[in-house]
Amino acid sequence: MIHESTLNTKARPIRVDLAFLLTTLLLALVAFAVLLPLGILIVNSFQVARPGAPAVFGLEGWREAVTSPGILSAVEYTFSLAIIRQIVALFVGIILAWLIARTDLPAKGWLEFAFWLSFFFPALPLTLGWILLLDPKFGLINQWLMNLPFVHEPPFNIYSFWGIVWAHMTGSIGVKVLLLTPAFRNLNAELEESSRIAGVGPLGTLFHVVVPVMMPAILVATILGLIRSLEAFEIELILGVPVGINVYSTKIYEFVSHSPPHFSTATALSTIFLAVLLLLVALQRLYLGRRIYTTLTGRGFSTRPIALGRWRYPAFILVAALGLVVTVVPSLFLLLGTFMKLFGHFDIRGAWTLDNWRHIFNDPVLLRSLWNTLAVGMGAGLAGAVLFSLIAYVIARTQVAGRWLLDFLSWLPWSIPGVLLSVALFWTFLQTPVFRPIYGTIYLLIIAMVIKGMPIGVQLIKSVLMQLGNEMEEAARISGGNWLSTYCRIVVPLIYPALLTVGLVTFISAARDISTVVLLGRGESRTLSLLMLDYTVGADFEKATVVAVMIVALVTLAALVARAVGGQISVRS
Amino acid sequence: MRYFHVALRIACLALVSALLPSGSARAAQAGWQEEWSKTVEAAKKEGKVVVSIPASADLRKGMEESFGRRFPGIQLELFAARGGEATRRIVDEYKAGVRYFDIHLGGTTSVVLEFLPENMLDPIEPYFVLPEVKDPKNWWAGHMWIDKARKYVYGFQAYTFANVWYNASLLKPEEVLSYDDFLNPKWTGKIGILDPRTPGAGDSTWSYLYMVKGEEFLKKLVAQKMLVDRNQRQLAEALARGKVALTLGITEYTFLPYLQAGLPVKPLPTPREGTYTTGGSGHLTIIKNPPHPNATKVYVNWLLGKEGQEIFSKGLGQGTRRLDVDTKWLKEVGVMAAKDFLTPEQFLARENQSEEKVETVRKPALAISKKLFR
């Protein structure tokens, strides 16, 4: 590996060594954490022996993955659902982010917060809430509409293609606002002002100036969203499978759930998905590699909001209504569910009860689960913010050879659906002696959550760093600062709001994650989300909903704290 | 008179000696008590026992509270999960040399298909210490083993239950008197089944239908466009809401809140071909060389004692074979403990959980389900 600065090693030996050493160390760490589980998965896609028998390698898993009836339809549904969701969410997300970040919309801070919350809500209970409203047979909205004289059949059916798209909108729009608003906020208003002076209207400015400059963030948000859409699972399982809509991840779940599990088929399917992801990452690099997107330099920064004039309050009503639909409505039903004897049944005798809360508060493992959640969330948030910022810095701000490889590797954890990532990490930790002493402890859950959060964490910080001009770092170096001191004293203070947010997002992901940690948790390291799973699997939805409300309360509190201390995906102005 | 007193003394002595345990019996009693005390002390030093149990929060909570009260120095660490998920994890850990689990409790399909081929179980009887556990007389049909070797998989439950439920507003029970009536075009798209490709009551029901009706029947049944789900609660909800008229393989316990709420779900009277008998989740296995052998012994004797069986039976709504545990109440939730209604011969004739039946009935039935439900 050759660093550009090696030409000057005689003059500045320490700086070169630090950067080179750091990159090598990060590469080794990320390769170990990412490639090993992936390698184990790929090898297992060829392992076709039955339990107890010696290992036999063959193509049976691949054959089943490709020829399994229904697989083509699953692929078709996977891509069509993902693409349509992304188109709708991106369109709505860009407009919302622009309104919140660039205009004088009233209460925009709280509106942004509402969309944040929608992204953090757990999918399972929210889906149950939507079923309650939009089921074709008993959905409350359908029933109300059927009372109208001109409505003769239920207008909505949540168990359908469009029902799945709708149920995903809460999270899909939320993540777009989460990612795009801070990037829009970092845009120097001088660009918009220049456009207006040149006679271009607001919409023309948005699409000809703002969107092209925002392309790195938009592209990152789109690709992250697309990958997340491709591996979406819970909503499809509940709303799609009963009506014959299978997607790639539900097929994988099906193969893993068999007794004995068909791991070779599931991992073969996952490997095909990996190829699609690599293609998306390559496209993103190809697009971003040729352009410059600096919006913040050492020359000053204007963030004057655009006045909406007479559209200010109509726009507010529209955004607030959407915010209510994606946050308040589902959370209201989530909360209502905790007081119901039988979730979704309003018309039974004695429909309301406090027993679910009483039961959960008397559960001897509640406090331990809460403590484990906090420990895993804070550990992953802290470790993630440090590690991701270092990786992003090497990728975005250095010329070290091999940084492209680091960028590429940091995407890979998202190439594996949660249900398989859990298996891969489980096998990795089990078969790697260095992990044995911490196997089954919460430290392993922290490591797993850091790996899982790597793509979004690194990409978020990277997109912020790409907007940061290099004059300030150059000035620091000219003043005698070395690489490390420039990073610590110039870069970190500038991007700390983004670091806080990345730490928070990692905390929240850890607090609500089930699929990644389900195989790694033990009785003693059970988190709140695993406690919720205990109740869900035991068919006790009402008590699971109580735990879900606790998780939502915890992440809301974390989000409020981060908001109070200034966390956002941006650089400091 | 003197002779009378002597005779009276002799009679009293004879009576007392008859009532007191014999020398060997006394020695045996002292033997198990001493062994038990030593085991409990050693278990306290080990500190904990790790048990994999079926996914039920009620069972987990009941066991933790009760065992904790009884043996305060021994921590009971429970891992609640679906059978297949737990067994896969235990096998992988065992093969990697990680010794964490001591005991697994659950259904037999995963145990027979995954544990037995790996030769990773300890014989169970050496773990029996307390006479109330050891003595076959305390158990309906004596000690019952699932595996052919009769030492690795112990079945402590035996019962039968209504595994076909109907929505009373959509179906009259007289419309389905035989399993053949499922094939009536009237019920197309109106039958829900717990996914038979995964271990559980859906797999048991499917295997029984294969046993009594054969493969052709199963093909016709699948052609009825059944609603297949892995979540019992969702299928129960579908029946209560009238989306389906019949469900197969949903356990009575799932319907309990719906029954209490007065919703129109009811167990279908057993069709004329009968139904299967089962041990449900009541099967004990001990992982070879458990990390906490003494705590494992304590737990096994507690579980198979009266208190442990009451907790397990109540936690899952399944019927124990222990004769001193009341199981009559289970009838309210559609479960009939074998000891209250069946002879051992009747039970064995209709069971499909033993190692032999898993191999001869369940495996082929599973293969058919994987073929038909793709």
Mutate to test the interface with B, among A128, A236, A255, A259 (most CBs of B within 10 A): A259
Q: Three-state SS for A56?
A: coil
- Crossing angle of helices A418-431/A248-257, nearest 10°? 50
Q: Name the residue with higher pLDDT: B153 or A30.
A: B153
CATH of the domain at B252: 3.40.190.10
Q: Are residues B152 and B292 in the same domain?
A: yes
As to burial, measured by CB atoms within 10 angstroms (0-12 exposed, 13-18 middle, 19+ buried), residue A317 is exposed
pLDDT confidence band for B69 (50 / 70 / 90): very high
Examine residue B117 and state whether it is found in any structural domain, yes or no.
yes
Write out chain B in H/E/C secondary structure.
CHHHHHHHHHHHHHHHHHHCCCHHHHHHHHHHHHHHHHHHHHHHHHCEEEEEECCCHHHHHHHHHHHHHHCCCCEEEEEECCHHHHHHHHHHHHHHCCCCCCEEECCCHHHHHHHHHHCCEECCHHHCCCHHHHCHHHECCCCCECCCCCCCCEECECEEECCEEEECCCCCHHHCCCHHHHHCHHHCCCEEEECCCCCCHHHHHHHHHHHHHCHHHHHHHHCCCCEEECCHHHHHHHHHCCCCCEEECCCHHHHHHHHHCCCCEEECCCCCCCCCEECCCCEEEEECCCCCHHHHHHHHHHHCCHHHHHHHHHHHCCCECECCCCCHHHHHHCEEEHHHHCCHHHHHHHECCCHHHHHHHHHHHHHHHHHHCC
Which among B57, B114, B258 is the nearest to A543, CB-wise?
Answer: B57
- The pLDDT assigned to A119 comes to 79
Examine residue B296 and state whether it is found in any structural domain, yes or no.
yes
Alpha carbon separation from A190 to A196, A200, A301 (Å, rounded): 10, 14, 8
Lowest mean pLDDT among A42-56, A351-365, B69-83, B99-113: A42-56
Q: Are residues B245 and B206 in the same domain?
A: yes
Q: Report the distance separating Cα B297 and Cα A222, nearest Å.
A: 57
- The pLDDT assigned to A2 comes to 38
Question: Amino acid letter at A193?
Answer: E
Can you tell me which residue has the tokens 């539900």? A250
Q: Are residues B143 and B244 in the same domain?
A: no
- The pLDDT assigned to A569 comes to 46
Examine residue B354 and state whether it is found in any structural domain, yes or no.
no
Q: Are residues B299 and B227 in the same domain?
A: no
DSSP 8-state code for residue A141? H
Tell me the two tokens of residue A271: 């490997």
Q: Are residues B101 and B221 in the same domain?
A: no
H helix or E strand, kind and range, residue A11: none
Query: Closest chain B residue to A432 measured between Cα atoms?
Result: B96
- The pLDDT assigned to B83 comes to 75
Say whether the peptide bond before residue A202 is cis (omega within 30 degrees of 0): no
Examine residue B351 and state whether it is found in any structural domain, yes or no.
no
Contacts of A524 in chain B (CB under 8 A): 77
Which among B55, B92, B117 is the nearest to A538, CB-wise?
Answer: B55
Closest Cα in chain B, distance from residue A446 (Å): 20
Closest Cα in chain B, distance from residue A523 (Å): 5
Q: Are residues B253 and B301 in the same domain?
A: no
Cβ–Cβ of A523/B233 closer than 8 Å? no
Q: Are residues B118 and B266 in the same domain?
A: no
Cβ–Cβ of B257/A342 closer than 8 Å? yes
Domain that holds residue B108: 39-157+280-326
Can you tell me which residue has the tokens 């009238």? B242
Examine residue B152 and state whether it is found in any structural domain, yes or no.
yes
Question: Amino acid letter at A570?
Answer: S
Contact between B77 and B48 (Cβ < 8 Å)? yes
Cβ–Cβ of B109/A259 closer than 8 Å? yes
Cβ–Cβ of B57/A535 closer than 8 Å? yes
In sequence order, what are the beta bridge partners of B284? B105, B154
Q: Are residues B169 and B239 in the same domain?
A: yes
Task: Give the CATH class of A76-247+311-353.
Answer: mainly alpha
Examine residue B349 and state whether it is found in any structural domain, yes or no.
no
Which among B83, B231, B370 is the nearest to A258, CB-wise?
Answer: B370
Contact between B339 and B144 (Cβ < 8 Å)? no
DSSP 8-state code for residue A430? H
- The pLDDT assigned to B57 comes to 83
Tell me the two tokens of residue A87: 């188109």
Closest Cα in chain A, distance from residue B56 (Å): 5
Query: How many Cβ pairs closer than 8 A exist between chain A and B?
Result: 127
Q: Are residues B95 and B140 in the same domain?
A: yes
> 10 Å Cβ neighbour count for B276?
21
- The pLDDT assigned to B248 comes to 96
pLDDT digits (tens, 9 = 90+) for A128-170: 778 878 888 778 889 899 989 888 888 999 999 999 999 998 8
- Do domains A1-44+354-573 and A76-247+311-353 share one topology? The answer is yes
Mutate to test the interface with A, among B113, B226, B234 (most CBs of A within 10 A): B234
Examine residue B189 and state whether it is found in any structural domain, yes or no.
yes
In Å, the largest CA–CA distance within chain B is 93
> 10 Å Cβ neighbour count for A198?
10
Chain B 36-75, residues with CB within 8 Å of chain A CB atoms: 50, 55-58, 60-61, 64-65, 68
Cβ–Cβ of A345/B261 closer than 8 Å? yes
Query: Closest chain B residue to A65 measured between Cα atoms?
Result: B374
Contact status of B359 with chain A (Cβ, < 8 Å): no
DSSP 8-state code for residue A340? B
Mutate to test the interface with B, among A355, A531, A537 (most CBs of B within 10 A): A537
Please give the tally of structural domains in chain B.
2
Contact status of B219 with chain A (Cβ, < 8 Å): no
Q: Are residues B60 and B209 in the same domain?
A: no
Examine residue B261 and state whether it is found in any structural domain, yes or no.
yes
Distance of CA A379 to the CA centre of its chain: 18
Q: Which long-range contacts (CB under 8 A, 24 or more apart) does A366-370 make?
A: A366/A531, A368/A524, A368/A526, A369/A526, A369/A527, A369/A528, A369/A530, A369/A531, A370/A528, A370/A550
Closest-CA residue to B12 (of B4, B22, B2): B4
Contact between B79 and B86 (Cβ < 8 Å)? yes
- The pLDDT assigned to A98 comes to 87
Record the pTM: 0.81
Q: Are residues B65 and B152 in the same domain?
A: yes
Q: Name the residue with higher pLDDT: B232 or B145.
A: B145
- The pLDDT assigned to A50 comes to 64
Question: Amino acid letter at B24?
Answer: S
Q: Which residues of A485-505 are buried (b: 16+ CB within 10 A; e: fewer)?
A: ebbeebbeebbbbbbbbbbbb
Under 8 Å CB-to-CB from A427, ≥6 apart: which residues?
A37, A40, A44, B92
Cβ–Cβ of B242/A137 closer than 8 Å? yes
Contacts of B56 in chain A (CB under 8 A): 538
Domain boundaries defined on chain A: 1-44+354-573, 76-247+311-353
Which regions in chain A score pLDDT beneath 50? 1-14, 292, 296, 298, 569-573
Alpha carbon separation from B306 to B137, B138, B370 (Å, rounded): 14, 10, 40
- The pLDDT assigned to A1 comes to 38
- CATH 3.40.50.2300 for domain A1-44+354-573, yes or no, is no
pLDDT digits (tens, 9 = 90+) for A21-51: 888 888 888 888 888 888 888 888 888 776 5
Closest-CA residue to B103 (of B293, B316, B313): B293
pLDDT above 80 for B257? yes
